[in-house]
Structure formats: structure tokens, C-alpha cells
Structure 1
């Protein structure tokens, strides 16, 4: 039976304090070798359990086996030197020391397949797995080899397609590509970014999603948001072309943002993961606040295509806050679900 308004998270959940330092991105692991492998699996079980306790419908690994949503994937590729680092501006807003592309990029072996297989063994619920999108990968590196963002993105798209096909084969129901860069480099998105994303999903039969947000709740992102004015219309630049793409689901940021909700009209017909939980605040949404966001979205998204979700990943939050926010998401979705059922 198909669930009405199936809930999910955008990706990461906080890691247990025994695995990595809490409330911190890129937090180093506290365990090593076999202890680390076992610890990651235990953390994945906990993240799954917390989603299940909160009645989340489409579950994930909470990215427990990854230090970072982009670099953990890149670490497993050939052609990228992590010792040779350069300072670049990421997403056009903050500087970071990043690895260097020094030769042709390739994927010598699968990256997340064993982790995804483990998650699949733990549950019969639909599972979603997140991968970095090609453009966001390009934006997180210094390229000394291809000297072309577009050419490097196409290479990454081929590699991502290999990984995605293997994720599908082990039972992943939805493969999500994280593309925060789509909210920044509009000309590139329309020129080649969406095309590269379509190359990454080529030949897949499972559902595919693209997650486009305004970033984790870290200072560099919250400071940037303050410069965006009273209306955040970035989605307007990329939605028309995304609406024509082969991507099944678009995941976006709504709650507590200045995104005009009517922009959703530009992607009517697509399934939409509506971010109804703010990940840049420790304030716990009430179920009614979540329901209010979803009701507004229903003016532009058909009920059978609306997937209540978080704005972005919750890795930088405390586990207590994240848990409470998951419960609010589920309770808010249930309010609107009951309203829809009573109208039938």
C-alpha cells in the first residue's frame, strides 16, 4: 500500500559521541581499524532505529559511515591527491583547503555498496542513499588536471553512475544526489550541470532525487543566507530545466527560509521532498508548524507527490535536537495526512 506523504530526512544525522566528536562537520573518527568498522555499523543501526522510533517512512543510514557528504566519496577515487592541498572558495562563499585533481579520475572499486547492503539487511522499509552530485564534487576540489569544471563533472558523472547502479542492485529504493552547488552557479547548472546529473542517473530503474539546499546550519552558510534579502529566488533559475529532466524527485529547503513557496509551481508534476524542518536552528518545530509548511506546499504540489522532509542534513545538531525534530516532522505530516484522508 502506498503511503500518503511519506517522510524522510535529507541525509545526515548526528553521530554518537563515541564514534566522532558531536555537533561538528568533518569530525575525525575516535575509533580505528576493525573497531571503527564495527562502530560505524553500530551507529548505522542506531540512526535507523531513531528514524523508526520517530515513524520516518523512507529511512537512510544517516551517513554514519561518512565523515563528509562529498569528500568521503572522493577519498575512494584515483586521480585525487589528498596530500597536495590548495585553498579554494567553496560554493562562492567560504575558503577551504581542498585536495587536488592530479590525473584522470576513476573509481577502482565500489565505495558505499557494503554499507548500503548492511542497511538493506536491517529493514524492509524503503531506503534512500545519498551521493554527492557531479557539480558539487567539482566545487569541492582544486583541478590541476582537466582544467575544466565541465569536463571534470562529466568524469564524476560516469563514476557516480557506476556507483548508483551497484547501489540499486543491492536494494536501494531512492538514490539522491546532493547538489547545493545548484543554488549558486546558475549558468553552469543550465549549461551542463543538469546534463551531468542526468548522465549520473543513466540506466537506473530505482527512483532518483536531487537535493538542492542552502547548506548545513554552519556559520559560513547562515552568514551567506543573511545576504540573500527577503526573498530567496535561487530555485527560479534552475527549476524550469529540472522540470524537464529525468530526475524523479526534487528535494528542497522551505521551512524558516525566504523561499517563495509559489516557486514550486515551476516543478509541478515532479515529486517534491519539501523541507519542513530547519536544520540551522536548535528550536524544535511544533507539529503544527510542520503541518503549516506542508499545507502551503500542497497549493503547488499534488498530495501524492509531496514527501515531507528536512531542509538539509542534521549532522551538526545534537542527537537530542535531531530526534525531537524527526518526531515533529512525523507528527506534522500525520496531521496533514489525516486532513487529506478526511477530504476523500
Structure 2
């Protein structure tokens, strides 16, 4: 490092970004260094890139951090940034600032031998279950944020999460659910959490992506439309070869199974969703030539994880692929969309659907189909139905039918999903998880309404193929639950009452 700059305050951490600009990796480095600091912590950023003079102050304004001072000596620039506001700063540390260089990559160690699946309780016809997420208590949300920011260690975080998982599972069992999940209590969202578990991947706030998109003004408008502050929504960024040196969700299944003998399901973001989410030309192209290269590693880590989940006794592993609806129901090819965080540009619809099908089939190849499922919906970040995508399953039904999964969990309670009859062409050996209540609405559906809806599905698919679920999770994004835990429990209880009536009616 060069000689220190005479800032008015002593930085806690300092790093040199060289000639990187904000749209080409510098923000990733900044996030890497500032996240572990406490509020009021000071970060010195050194740079020789002239565009940072304007871009960094703009980033500070967007993210609510304070630019304390800026010094320039020749080409060398030094920025002192406070995490949050300087008024929040505690007494300055006695030790000199820690100086760091770039991001250290973790060596990738593929799993060479897959463990064999363990036995798991069978999931009977007309079983009731949630899709995955469950509203988190306020104290759990606080723990999620403190853990992501480095202010809560792993042991304390998981002790807190264990309590939240116990509450979520007990609520599902009280409601009469046949299959339970841990409610995704440890996750910041249904998909981006993988960045905190995978090697050479990191979570960054959506606001950090502004310099990376083709149309920043349009992206800003999309961010303002969110029901939760964009700075609280984080996005996975890949800065090196993906690796899985620890489990993604195995620990979730292990703890859930310790609490109940009921079948346990677990959801993972699907390979197409992760590829669309993680492929950002200005960051991920440092490790991969194209998104197909990235996809191969995504397939590998998901296969490793599924093998370990099945070996841990997961009764059902669900791949979440909601972005499939973005492919067919949103704008033209090469248009970016916030839908499910899939910011990467896409190709034409047939190409994307074939790519998604092939990725899913590559992930599921060789695993027992009856224990693999796929879920899709039309967007679950807002309770406002008008902001979510709309369209029937006609453009998707062939692709869904070609995927090597045993169950499809489909949004079918909302009118936005169209007619259920379109799904009759699906193969007879695929179970249909029928969305029978709307997780977006506080109104709890009547038992008669659910029975009639489910009976319609039974007449189309047969009682042996039908499962009953909400349309989607109750809290897909941790900070933005669509309903309270009490309402979620009440909705599951109605599904369970309807299932009892239908089992008696159909002799199951």
C-alpha cells in the first residue's frame, strides 16, 4: 500500500480497488469489506479510476452510507466511507486499520461420490403442505440481518433460528399439515440465501447493481415499486468458480427431522433461476466465459446438495423455478426484469424454455423421481395481484411435462393462473400439487370453497395424483411476509379439513 492519507478519522479497514470501476467489480469489493463492519465503522477505499469520483458518492447516497472525506493525490484517490452515518460511530479502535487486497477465492472441491438416499416417510395422496417459506418472528428477522452483516456469529444465529423453526413446524402440525418444512427461517429469501452458503459467491444489495444494468433509470423505477426497501433485498454475485464446501440446506433438514416424524420437504432454487440470477456480465464473466459454463457448475453443486438432502432423509426436494413464468409472460427477448431477481437478459422464449428444461433434467438425472418436485408461480414479492405476472399454463405445459420430476407444485388458486384444464396433458405419472388457497390474501378461504376447487382437480387428474398447497410461500422474502403466521396457519388448517373430507369421499 502507498503512504496513508490524512483523513479526519482513522479507518477501521482499508483496501485498494486499483483501476476497477463501480460497474466492473469495485462495488463487490466494497460490499465484501463494509458488510462485516458495525454501524459507524469506517472503510477506506483506494482507487485510480476517475469514474469512481462520481459513482461512489452516488452509491453512498443510494445505500444510506456517509462519504466522510475524499482525498486525491495525482491518480491515486482515497475515499473514507462510514457504514451508516458518522453520528453512529463508537469510540475509534486503538489498533491500526486492517489493510486488505482483493477477494480471496476458495478452492473448489467437487463431491466425487454421492451418498445413497435414505428411506423417508411416503407422501400419501391428498397430502397437505406449504410450499416452503413461513412468516418469521421479528426477532428472527433481526438475527438474519445481524448475521448477514457479520454482527452475529454462526452459533448464536443458528440457536435463534432453531427456536423460529420449532415455532414454524409446530404451527404447520397444529394446522394438520401432512408434510412440513422448516419455513426457510434461516434464509433471507427463497433463493439468494445460497450465496451465503456457496464458495466464491456473495450477497450484494440490489441497489449495488445499478451501475451494471443497461437502463439505470428503468431499474430504479422497478426498485421503487418494491414493497420492501431495495437495500434490504440482496442478490447473489459470483466472483469465482462455484464450489460447495458445506451444505446448502442439509442442516435445515437435519434440524427439522429432529423435531418431527412427519415427512420433511425442502426447497432449493432451481438451476435455471440460479443461472439467470447469477449471470451478470460485469462480474461473473471473470470466472466463466458464458452463462452455459456457469450453469454447468450450478448443476454440479445442486446435484451434490440433492444427494446429501436425500441421504439426510428429506422426503421431498423441491426445485423453485418461478422465473419460467417471466420467460413467457413478461416483455420481449433481451429485456431485463426484476421478476424473482432474474436480472440477466434472456433469449427468445423457445430457447429459454429448452435451456431451463435441460438444466432441470441434468440436475435430477438418476435421483428417485417420487422425491423430486418443481414449483413455479407468477411472482410473490407483493400482495398486490396487479403487479404479478398473469397468464395460463398453455405456453409452459409441454416444458413442464418434459421435466424429470415426480411432482409439480403449481399456482392454481389465483385467477392469474388461468384454467386448470390446460394441465390435463401432463404425463399421468406426475403428481399435481394444486394451489388451493391464495397466500397473498388475508381472507381465509372456506372449507367448501377448497373442497370444490380440489374436487375439480381430482376429476381432472385423479385423487391419487393430487396434493393440496397454497399457491406459493407465505414469506418468500424474509422482510416482506405476505401474511401473518396466524393467517398462514388458518389457511393450512382449511386445506387439512378439506383433505379429510375428500379422503373420506374418495376412499383414500
TM-score (norm 2): 0.60
- Bigger Rg, structure 1 or 2: 2
What are the Cα deviations for residues 30-73 of structure 1, in whole angstroms up to 9, with x where unaligned? 89333321111111111111111111001111111211111111
| 1:1-344 equivalences in 2 (<5 Å) | 3-20=124-141, 28=145, 32-33=152-153, 34-82=155-203, 85-87=208-210, 94-95=222-223, 98-143=235-280, 144=283, 145=285, 146=288, 148-185=290-327, 186-205=349-368, 207-216=371-380, 218=382, 222-225=385-388, 228=390, 232-233=391-392, 235-258=393-416, 259-269=418-428, 270-315=430-475, 316=481, 317-341=483-507
Take 1:276 and 1:83, find their aligned partners in 2: how far apart are those partners?
Answer: 35
Q: CA deviation at 1:268?
A: 4.1
**Alignment check: 8 A CA contact 2:175 2:493 kept:** yes
**Alignment check: 8 A CA contact 2:144 2:157 kept:** no
**Alignment check: 8 A CA contact 2:195 2:202 kept:** no
Give the secondary-structure state (helix, strand or coil) at the position aligned to 1:299.
Answer: helix
TM-score (norm 1): 0.87
Q: CA deviation at 1:27?
A: 6.7
Take 2:316 and 2:222, find their aligned partners in 1: how far apart are those partners?
Answer: 31
Higher relative contact order by CA 8 Å / sep ≥ 6: 1 or 2? 1
**Alignment check: 8 A CA contact 1:13 1:63 kept:** yes
Q: CA deviation at 1:267?
A: 1.3
The list of structure 1 runs, each at least 4 consecutive aligned residues, that deviate by more than 4 angstroms after superposition, is: 92-97
Change beyond 3 A, Cα 1:302–1:94? farther
Stretch of structure 1 that moved more, 95-104 or 162-171? 95-104
Q: CA deviation at 1:224?
A: 3.3
**Alignment check: 8 A CA contact 2:134 2:184 kept:** yes
Stretch of structure 1 that moved more, 265-274 or 199-208? 199-208
Give the secondary-structure state (helix, strand or coil) at the position aligned to 2:141.
Answer: coil
Q: CA deviation at 1:216?
A: 1.5
Q: CA deviation at 1:111?
A: 2.0
Take 2:354 and 2:124, find their aligned partners in 1: how far apart are those partners?
Answer: 37
Take 1:254 and 1:147, find their aligned partners in 2: how far apart are those partners?
Answer: 39
Structure 1 portions without partners, runs of 5+: none
Q: CA deviation at 1:335?
A: 2.2
Take 2:319 and 2:396, find their aligned partners in 1: how far apart are those partners?
Answer: 15
What are the Cα deviations for residues 131-156 of structure 1, in whole angstroms up to 9, with x where unaligned? 00011122333523236334323321
Take 2:410 and 2:473, find their aligned partners in 1: how far apart are those partners?
Answer: 12
Take 1:166 and 1:339, find their aligned partners in 2: how far apart are those partners?
Answer: 39
Count the aligned residue pairs: 330
**Alignment check: 8 A CA contact 1:276 1:308 kept:** yes
Change beyond 3 A, Cα 1:189–1:340? farther
